[in-house]
Amino acid sequence: MMETVTIHLKSPPDRTYDILIESGLIRKIGSDLQAHQSGNRYFVVTDTNVADLIGKEFMGLLRAAGIQGDLFAIPAGETSKRWKSVSRITERMTTFGLDRRSAVIALGGGVVGDIAGFAAAIYMRGIPYIQVPTTLLAQIDSSVGGKTGIDTDRGKNLLGAFHQPTKVYIDPNLLRSLPEAEIKNGMAEMIKYAVIKDPELFDTLNRHSSQILRLEASLMTRLIARCCEIKGEVVEKDEKEGGLRRILNFGHTVGHGIEAASDFAIPHGAAVSIGMAAAAKLSRAERLIAEDEAQKIIDLLRQYRLPVEVPPSLEWTRILGHMKSDKKFVDKTPLFVLVKRIGEVFVYDKLGLDRVEAVLSDRH
């Protein structure tokens, strides 16, 4: 059954959009675009892996619906999220003759979504774009909320723009070809949503892990919709990260430090998982959460075979060093998202880095 989540962004201009979620949805995108969108041309940005898997089929489906489109693939991986790709994409958009009535379609994971969204944000001062996310992380996180951007030598996502998509089409069937490591990246974010906002989702993740890890279609459709709804609720209240949106960074302050300290050898999901376990430990040490509640978070992460401890080869001093240079540190005060109970988190600024190091390296 199709699920629809509407993101209401009414501050002028009205940028409200729908997220459609259904197994097999990929086959309906062409006709839906014809019925609802006013785009005269579509420029599909993807990466080389996704192009090999579904590029031909996707373009064939668009053509069958009477849509002329052009496909452009960037090399797969984070290293493509750079200015040079934006420049190649926008040059191709110019050659293809895209104008302000045209639209970009991002067909891929978060890398493609961020870069295609950014190209759409700056091309002719902004043209519409549509997200067709193909990784679990992109389906529950990066395709929703309108953050677009690229990396620079100085760090991740340092250049970017807020630019909301006009529609998001999510087909959970596409997840079947994802490597296990990418499923784990997404599961870490799903657990994050449960901890920050939804004890019922937490319970479902706890009770149905084997069906979820088998990517059972109807259950995944419901879970993806719920995650989009949670992210949507936060984004609706705080589109440009003035405050509330920070709760989406639960596990990420420490997680980003771990990713950077490992020179990105530790995948994002694993780093965020260790970060969420760290946040649970810090919350417990500060007596903000009950012992058994904090343990439940750590146990759920373990159930999804996500790590909860920093590998011995990484030192906390190195991780904290990277955290200090994080752009999320306001005036060098670390802002941690800590947890009161499953479903309720808050931003906490009373933790000095010394205390963080002592708790996390078990010396408190």
Ligand X SMILES: NC(=O)c1ccc[n+]([C@@H]2O[C@H](COP(=O)([O-])OP(=O)(O)OC[C@H]3O[C@@H](n4cnc5c(N)ncnc54)[C@H](O)[C@@H]3O)[C@@H](O)[C@H]2O)c1
Q: Which residue among 31, 40, 53, 173 contacts ligand X (CB under 6 A)?
A: 53
How far apart, in whole angstroms, are the C-alpha atoms of residue 141 and residue 190? 9
Nearer to ligand X, 235 or 359 (CB): 235
What string marks each residue from 33 to 52 as x (binds ligand X by CB under 6 A) or -?
--------------x-xx--
Determine which one of 15, 81, 231, 284 is catalytic.
231
Q: Which of 131, 134, 164, 273 binds ligand X (CB under 6 A)?
A: 134
Catalytic residue at 249? Answer: yes
Q: Find the binder of ligand X among 3, 141, 171, 229 (CB under 6 A).
A: 141
252 is catalytic: yes
DSSP string of 261-319, one letter each residue: HTTT-S-HHHHHHHHHHHHHHHHHHTT-S-HHHHHHHHHHHHHTT---S--TTS-HHHH
Q: Which one of the listed residues 268, 281, 284, 296 is annotated catalytic?
A: 268
Nearest partner of 227 among 128, 164, 141, judged by Cα: 141
- Residue 241 sits at φ, ψ, to 5 deg, of 60, 50
The mark string for 237-256 relative to ligand X (x by CB under 6 A, - otherwise) is --------------------
Angstrom distance (rounded) from CA 148 to CA 158? 10
Residue 270 binds to ligand X (criterion: CB under 6 A): no
By the rule CB under 6 A, 232 interacts with ligand X: no
SS3 363: coil
Annotation marks residue 147 as catalytic: yes
- Asked whether position 79 contacts ligand X by CB under 6 A, the answer is no
Q: Is 138 in the site for ligand X (CB under 6 A)?
A: yes
Question: What whole-number distance in Å separates Cα of residue 321 and Cα of residue 327?
Answer: 13
Is residue 4 at the binding interface for ligand X, with CB under 6 A as the rule?
A: no
Q: What angle do CA 259, 297, 176 make, to 5 degrees?
A: 65
The correct pick among 21, 62, 67, 111 for binding ligand X (CB under 6 A) is 111
Q: How many CA atoms lie within 13 A of 280 on its CB side?
A: 27
Q: Is 21 in the site for ligand X (CB under 6 A)?
A: no
Which of 178, 183, 224, 272 lies at the binding interface for ligand X (CB under 6 A)? 178
- Among residues 137 and 247, whose Cβ is nearest to ligand X? 137
Q: What is the DSSP string of 78-137?
A: GGG-SHHHHHHHHHHHHHTT--TT-EEEEEESHHHHHHHHHHHHHGGG---EEEEE-SHH
β-partners of residue 21 are: 3, 170
Residues that bind ligand X (CB under 6 A): 47, 49-50, 53, 76-78, 81, 108-112, 114, 134-135, 137-138, 141-142, 145, 147, 156-157, 174, 177-178, 182, 185
Residues designated catalytic: 125, 147, 189, 231, 241, 245, 249, 252, 256, 268
